[in-house]
Structure formats: structure tokens, C-alpha cells
């Protein structure tokens, strides 16, 4: 399989940009961080700095429902962080695939920062 032409990568990113524009019109959903990598995927990350664990889970669930995401079972890493992940596909252009993610960290103990 040969290298992917630059024009194809740019088209994928334009499709993802168009899909993101549609998603940002949905005013009733929590604000999350969106990125468009070189692959043209659309990646949504729930904020870890200004949200409580309950707010993070609620944001992930709301976006997962809106996107029709196939959510994988949550997993807990050895440091106690809970990882949430779901994949979705939007019918924009040639189709835009993507993921929504959240990492919910346990509270600090003994006032550690």
C-alpha cells in the first residue's frame, strides 16, 4: 500500500472540520476539547481541570449518546484513574470517524498536589 496523498489527508481534515462545526451548534451539551489529527479523525476529550468526576462522567455520557458512540467498558489503571472511551462515525463528506475520551483521576490524598 502506497503513501496517502496530502490532498486526501487535507480532505479528511476538512470533512472533520465540517462535522465539528455541526457539533458546536448543539448548545445543550457540555463544552469539551476537540482536536483534528492528521488522520482526519475527530477526537473529543472531557476536561479534567475544571470538572468534578461526576461532571466529567456526565459530559462523557451526554456526548456519547449524542454521537451514538460505541462505548467500551471503563477500565481503571493501577494509579486509580478511570478511563472512558467511545468510538463514533459521522455521515459527513466521505465519513468522519472519531472518539470521545475521559480520564477521571482519583482525589489527592493528604493534600498532595
Structural domain of 17: 6-104
Low-confidence ranges of the chain (pLDDT < 50): none
pLDDT in tens, 22-43: 999 998 999 999 999 999 999 9
pLDDT given for residue 2 in this prediction: 75
- Is pTM beyond 0.75? Reply is yes
Looking at the domain assignment, is residue 110 inside a domain?
no
30 close to 109: Cβ distance less than 8 angstroms: no
Looking at the domain assignment, is residue 36 inside a domain?
yes
Looking at the domain assignment, is residue 1 inside a domain?
no
Furthest-apart CA atoms within the chain: distance in Å: 55
pLDDT given for residue 59 in this prediction: 97
Looking at the domain assignment, is residue 112 inside a domain?
no
Please give the DSSP secondary-structure letter assigned to residue 107.
P
Please count the structural domains in the chain.
1
pLDDT given for residue 4 in this prediction: 86
Task: Report residue 24: phi and psi, to 5°.
Answer: -75, -10
Amino acid at each position: 500500500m502506497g503513501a496517502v496523498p496530502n490532498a486526501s489527508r487535507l480532505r479528511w481534515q476538512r470533512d472533520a472540520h465540517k462535522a465539528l462545526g455541526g457539533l458546536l451548534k448543539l448548545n445543550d451539551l457540555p463544552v469539551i476539547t476537540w482536536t483534528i489529527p492528521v488522520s482526519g479523525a475527530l477526537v473529543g476529550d472531557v476536561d479534567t481541570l475544571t470538572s468534578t468526576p461526576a461532571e466529567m462522567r456526565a459530559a462523557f455520557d451526554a456526548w456519547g449518546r449524542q454521537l451514538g458512540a460505541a462505548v467500551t467498558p471503563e477500565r481503571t489503571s493501577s494509579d486509580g484513574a478511570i478511563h472512558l472511551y467511545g468510538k463514533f462515525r459521522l455521515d459527513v463528506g466521505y465519513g468522519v470517524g472519531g472518539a470521545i475520551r475521559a480520564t477521571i483521576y482519583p482525589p489527592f490524598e493528604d493534600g498532595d498536589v
